[in-house]
A and B are shown apart, each in its own frame.
Chain A
Amino acid sequence: MKALFDFMDKNIAPLFEKGGKFERLYPLWEAGDTFNRTPADVTPSAPHVRDSIDQKRLMIFVIYALIPCILFGIWNAGNQFNLANGIESTFGADMARGALMVLPIIFVSYAVGGLWEVLFAVIRRHEINEGFLVTGMLFPLTLAPTIPLWQVAIGISFGIVIGKEIFGGVGYNILNPALTARAFLFFAYPAQISGDKVWVGSLAESPSIVNSILGHSGEYVDGVTQATPLAVAAAAKGSGMAAVDALNHAGYTLQNMTVGNIPGSIGSTSVIAILIGMGFLMLTGIASWRVMVSGIIGCAMMGLLFNALPLDNEFASLPWFYHLVMGGFLFGIVFMATDPVSASATNVGKFIYGFLIGALTVLIRVANPAYPEGAMLAILFMNVMAPLVDHFVVQGHIKKRTAYARALNNA
């Protein structure tokens, strides 16, 4: 191995460095080189020693936190598909089908998003940012497993280019790029992302090559229709049927919504998998516990408030804890809202920011007739508001500082 690295350092690296043949492609070389081995840079000035943490490590640990969601999402996509299409559901068969549904989405997301990232890095002559690793994984997990791959490509392109790169890249963007990408798909192609029948998929619509790999050929059942819990609860609004009853009627109990073996976005159906990720993020201190905890409190309190109000809205009477386990709220508050670039940066601001995301999510679910999933819009709205929240916190801090200094000087 050492001989190989020595060879690369001696013969290949100079091609990409200043004056080399492929100087313009330096970001690509640098990314690959530092992927293999940590860089050899030393501190330019004081402090002369540095902590061994870096951006790469931070980002890969977010991916680690997502692993339970990814694995469960793959199994669940396959399981839902097999059950709905009358195929015998075994763990192996579910994973195989799920992998063939989900992995192409992840692959396209990384390939197309990576292309943009590299392109901008080369043009701007700066290093490739690892933040893309997280964006490229979060985005597929918020999609339906049946999403057409061309939409994945367009969505991630929009998210990376408009959501991030035109602002200057990671650290400068104001919106979470993965959510921007999803919001774009939601507004541009609503049929494929918010329709009732998209979440499970059918053999007839599945690519024939996938079907033949798995040995599923011959007779196809017709399109499968199954709404998500949020759609079911939203539909109960005008029907006079209590939301909980409607959910139970459609087969959605608190238990299976917690476990997550229901139709929904790839990564966000299982509360248990998300909580494992949340525990990992809190343990490692990567994501802000303030945002996560206050978000959950905000969601619960808004749910309780609606329960207490005498409204003619069945969704409003949905028990508050249902809001926590339904839809993409928990996934959003744990993995999307905690994005440090677009979230509030002050500690007090993080509490306010998280709380309002939780509260707005429930408000949108109850009040918005068109689309019951409020988490995405609530997070994007609070992304925009985060600098304002921080502004007031900083102003408060300045007053406090001045008062402290004056008090001590007069003591």
Chain B
Amino acid sequence: MAIGFCAFQQQGAIFRTRNPRSENSVANFKIKKGFDVKVVGKPSTNVEEYASQQLFTVYPSEFEGLKVRLKVKAGETVKRGDVLFENKKNEKMVFRSPCAGTVKAINLGARRFPVEIQIEKDAQSQDNVTFETYTRDSVGQLSREQVADHLLNTGVWPLIKQRPFNKIADPDAAPKAVFINACNSAPYQADFSLILKGDEEAFQTGINALAKLTEGKVHLCKSAGSDIPDFKNAESHTFSGKHPSGNTSVHINRISPILPHDTVYTITAQNVILIGKTLLTGELPKTKIIALAGPAVKEEFRKYYKVEIGGSLESLLSKAIQGDDVRLINGNVLWGSQIKADACVPYYGSEIFALEEDRSRHLLGWTTPGLFQYSAHRVNISSFFGFSHDWKLGTNLHGSHRAMVVTGWMDKFQPLNIMTDFLIRAALAHDTDEMIQLGILETDPEDFALASFVDPHKTDVCGIIKRGLEEIEEEGI
């Protein structure tokens, strides 16, 4: 019975691959499994300019696994574009200053790792490191090495990541494809169609550069219904359905799954624009657009902001945030990392989400009908008719941690065809072979955010998968 059932599904999978996908054609993928977390705080479509204050910060801690060699000291004066630090393992990979000014402080964390490099911006100084400029078409004349070296030298290379392991792309690896993510399925990922307006030229230039890095195709993955046009040198695909239809892993799985020893490059669409701008202007891009969303953001501030890369967000956030005990997240509510109220614009990420730390306790909460509790499970009555409106959610865990019971429930929300429970078990047992067989290489911890969300035992699924991936990376495939 099991074999027959599997064979039936397999036929379906092969059938899907027979979609004729010629150059620049549009293939539509409908993702059936998933869940849309409905939370209040949708940003309006206005884009407002926001000038940062004097303080700029670069966070080397954003680059997970990076060995940092500092090239500046506290008190030094730097130009915009001067090298702040480099990758110890690959000295070509440099990270440059987002502004001209004085290095105010280098804050060290555990094992003397520089967590923050703070720079006091000099408002008068126009000191700027410049690089060679290209046009949209002249990028296409370059060789792979020239493009890679230029992107490494300008410090924008780390915007490109690679799978498996979702780390900074290895410039020497030959990826079989590049995946550009222009989707927004999580609440409230920045809408790329807004960000793109006026920067089409830079986006096309970025795509042309990326196309030089791979012998395969560049895949541009868009949400169904968004008005992003097609671009040359990229194959367009649209994804519809609930979250996680916008996750890069889902795109890779449906278009060109990762087999052991495969490498693909991934990048978010806004970062392609930043790469394009660097090539066109010959200097580091100054600004990017972020969305400010979430229930703890005052309604008039829920919109898009054009911000200076690395610049302080303190004055904006102090005006926009309501409530005393608020969690700020770099990323969306399902997958993002906590940041402080005086944070600066992060290197990665296009949205900042704010929600209340909800430490409220409810009398006999385990036995109420669950009319006013947000849940994907039918154990709460709200799940039958409660999803027509957005909910004001907080960070409450709604229970405490218990030993995990293998229920198979998590897979209801997992379109990746991964046996989530068994994958977690293999990861907990440090069984790297089984993890690989079950498909962990196709995933990133963010793909398990929904699994964590719906788990009644409050298991840290994302953390377990993250550790599993780290183990495999250490041991080698």
Contacts and interface: CB of A to CB of B under 8 A. Distances in A.
Given A49-B393, A54-B400, A411-B18, A398 B378 contact: no
Given A46-B462, A404-B14, A34 B400 contact: yes
Interface centre among B17, B355, B450 (most CB of A within 10 A): B17
B182 to A, nearest CB: 21
Contacts of A44: 460
Nearest to A55: B402
Interface in B351-406: 353, 355, 357-367, 370, 373-380, 393-406
Given A50-B453, A408-B256, A409-B257, A171 B405 contact: yes
B399 A48 contact: no
B335 interface: yes
Given A49-B37, A285-B378, A396-B6, A401 B457 contact: no
Interface stretch (A81-89, A206-214, A345-353, A361-369): A345-353
B453 A51 contact: yes
Given A39-B400, A46-B334, A52 B359 contact: no
Given A34-B400, A57-B379, A127-B402, A407 B395 contact: no
Given A36-B364, A43-B395, A58-B456, A405 B257 contact: yes
Interface string B51-94: 00000000000000000000000000000000000000000000
B398 A51 contact: yes
A291 B462 CA distance: 29
A58 B457 CA distance: 10
B396 A284 contact: no
A55 B17 contact: no
Given A48-B336, A49-B393, A348-B5, A40 B404 contact: no
A293 interface: no
A406 B259 contact: yes
Main secondary structure of the interface of B (DSSP, over half): loop
B476 interface: no
Given A44-B460, A285-B379, A396-B6, A53 B398 contact: yes
Given A39-B400, A54-B456, A286-B379, A47 B365 contact: no
A41 interface: yes
Contacts of B405: 170-171, 340-341
B259 A129 contact: no
A394 B396 CA distance: 34
Contacts of A407: 13-14, 17
Given A49-B393, A51-B398, A284-B379, A345 B403 contact: no
Interface size class of B (residues with CB under 8 A): 35 or more
B327 A56 contact: no
Contact of A404 (B13, B400, B402, B403): B13
Contacts of A401: 417, 437-439
Contacts of B417: 401, 404
Interface in A358-395: 390, 392-394
Contacts of A408: 13, 16-17, 255-257
A399 interface: yes
Contacts of A30: 400
Contacts of A54: 366, 398-400, 402, 456, 458
B400 A127 contact: yes
Contacts of B422: 345-346, 390, 394
B2 interface: yes
A405 B457 CA distance: 32
Interface centre among A60, A392, A403 (most CB of B within 10 A): A403
A297 B6 CA distance: 22
B373 A48 contact: no
B1 A352 contact: yes
B398 A397 contact: no
B407 interface: yes
Nearest to B335: A46
Interface size class of A (residues with CB under 8 A): 35 or more
Contacts of A39: 361, 397, 399-400
A11 interface: no
B292 interface: no
Nearest to B454: A51
A54 B376 CA distance: 12
Given A47-B462, A51-B453, A170-B402, A396 B3 contact: yes
Given A48-B329, A61-B379, A408-B257, A55 B453 contact: no
A47 B452 contact: yes
Contacts of A41: 396-397, 399-400
A1 interface: yes
Contact of B380 (A52, A340, A341, A390): A52
B39 interface: yes
A1 B394 CA distance: 24
B399 A55 contact: yes
Nearest to B355: A48
A398 B375 contact: no
Interface in B329-356: 329, 331, 333-338, 353, 355
Interface centre among B7, B397, B463 (most CB of A within 10 A): B397
A397 B363 contact: no
A-B pairs, top 7 by smallest CB distance, nearest first, are A54-B399, A171-B403, A38-B365, A52-B373, A56-B366, A405-B257, A37-B361
21 contacts: A38-B362, A40-B396, A41-B397, A42-B327, A42-B394, A42-B397, A49-B39, A50-B398, A51-B377, A54-B402, A57-B456, A60-B367, A168-B403, A171-B404, A171-B457, A283-B378, A340-B407, A348-B5, A394-B438, A397-B438, A407-B13
Interface of B: 1-3, 5-7, 9-10, 13-14, 16-18, 37, 39, 255-259, 327, 329, 331, 333-338, 353, 355, 357-367, 370, 373-380, 393-408, 411, 417, 419, 421-422, 437-439, 445-446, 449-450, 452-458, 460, 462-463
Given A35-B366, A340-B405, 14 more contacts: A37-B361, A42-B327, A43-B396, A44-B460, A46-B445, A51-B376, A52-B398, A58-B379, A288-B408, A346-B422, A348-B6, A390-B422, A396-B2, A403-B14
